[in-house]
């Protein structure tokens, strides 16, 4: 897994990896907002994560850590 959140694997020392492919969401330019603000504006499309939320990024680490500690259920 070299894309998305897990490309930082060495800094996220949890085992096993529990993932639905979160992260690696596109970053798109917003030319109209850039023109209005006078600076480059980019938007991150977090809605393309598996559940449509930015929270997927943190939860993949949390669930992986819980499973690594022996949890059979995470609510």
Domain residue spans of the chain:
4-68
Q: What does each C-alpha distance from 56 to 22, 41, 52, 72 come to in angstroms?
A: 6, 24, 8, 19
DSSP state of 29: E
The larger pLDDT score, comparing residue 33 to residue 2, is at 33
Q: Are 18 and 60 in contact (CB under 8 A)?
A: yes
What pLDDT is attached to residue 2? 54
Distance CA 50, CA 48 (A): 6
Strand pairing partners for 28?
A: 43
Most distant CA pair in the chain, distance: 52
Give the model confidence (pLDDT) of 19-49 as tens digits. 888 888 999 999 999 999 999 999 999 999 9
């Amino acid at each position: 897994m070299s894309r998305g959140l897990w490309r930082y694997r060495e800094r996220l020392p949890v085992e096993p990896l529990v993932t639905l492919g979160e992260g690696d969401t596109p970053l798109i330019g917003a030319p109209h907002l850039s023109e209005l603000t006078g600076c480059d504006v980019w938007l991150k499309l977090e809605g393309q994560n598996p559940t449509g939320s930015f929270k997927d990024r943190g939860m993949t680490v949390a669930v992986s850590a819980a499973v690594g500690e022996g949890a059979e259920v995470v609510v």
